Structure 1
């Protein structure tokens, strides 16, 4: 068996060549409509990042943050949907959004759709580009287990 330290070192000291390309990651936005044919109007960002974190909150998030790990998984699914669309990636995003809506304070009913938006800054302007929009699915039919 290899030395356990050799297995742990790459996780503790990441390589500068870890990423192939540095590019903006997609933002997942979702909307709930009354029917599959309705045009979504009220898009909301899914799990937006907090504007500020206190040092204490940052320290608390370091050892245990399953919600952030799941959000990173969603970014990975979104990037795969752009590069090589698969039903699995789309299903996973729908599943996570529906689960969050089910845990929310208000009951969500109707049809759920999501889109992937890339945000980039060009000079003073902020550009938003929609690169993918999923077909609506009935919230009641999405398996959130």
Structure 2
């Protein structure tokens, strides 16, 4: 019985020793390019300004959107450390899935946000090549 509890507790009570390093995660921003006109960069899946207590409690037990966001963070971190087409494809597909269907190209970039004195500075670490949005949305469907 003690062995079972010792296996169960680390799953319930996380430890910071689980992580090898603690560092800032890149944020994903995207833009649409239609007829050669480049749109403004937008944050993918921005966090809400506030949440109700009921929503917080529900999200502690069921939050598939946050799980997908964590997967995207993992893909973006891998893309910075060890670039691969798999990470690019996953980010493109999941960003395109939430956009309304349409024509044009989708492009994303990975940015690190830091504070320098009183200024907030964005540093772009990766910028993807544009991909046709319709092609991505067919894959995501």
Q: What TM-score does the superposition give when structure 2 sets the normalisation length?
A: 0.89
Structure 2 residue ranges without an equivalent (≥5): none
Q: Deviations over 1:66-90 (max 9, x none)?
A: 0110001000000000000111111
Structure 2 residue 23 is matched with structure 1 residue 29: no
> What is the Cα deviation at residue 4 of structure 1?
4.1
Q: Does 1:133 align with 2:131?
A: no
Q: Following the alignment from structure 2 to structure 1, what is the Cα–Cα distance between the partners of residues 48 and 133?
A: 27
The corresponding residue for 1:119 is 113
Alpha-carbon distance between aligned partners in 1 of 2:133 and 2:52, rounded to the nearest angstrom? 36
Map Cα deviations across residues 87-127 of structure 1 (whole Å, 9 max, x no partner).
111100001011111xxxx4332100100010011221111
Q: Distance in 2 between matches of 1:107 and 1:140?
A: 7
Q: Call closer, same or farther: CA 1:60–1:73 in 2, change over 3 Å.
A: same
Contact 2:101 2:134 in 1 (8 A): no
Match of 1:86 among 78, 84, 87: 84
Tell me how far 1:39 sits from its aligned partner.
6.2
Structure 2 counterparts to residues 9-88 of structure 1, below 5 A:
9-35=9-35, 38=36, 40-88=38-86
Q: Could you tell me how far 1:134 is from its partner in structure 2?
A: 0.6
84, 93, 96: which is aligned to 1:95? 93
Q: Which moved more, 1:21-30 or 1:11-20?
A: 11-20
Which of structure 1's runs of 4+ aligned residues deviate more than 6 A? none
More helix per residue: 2
**Root-mean-square deviation (CA), in Å?**
1.8
Rate the CA distance shift 1:122–1:139 in 2: closer, same or farther, 3 A.
same
Within 2, Cα distance between the matches of 1:22 and 1:129? 18
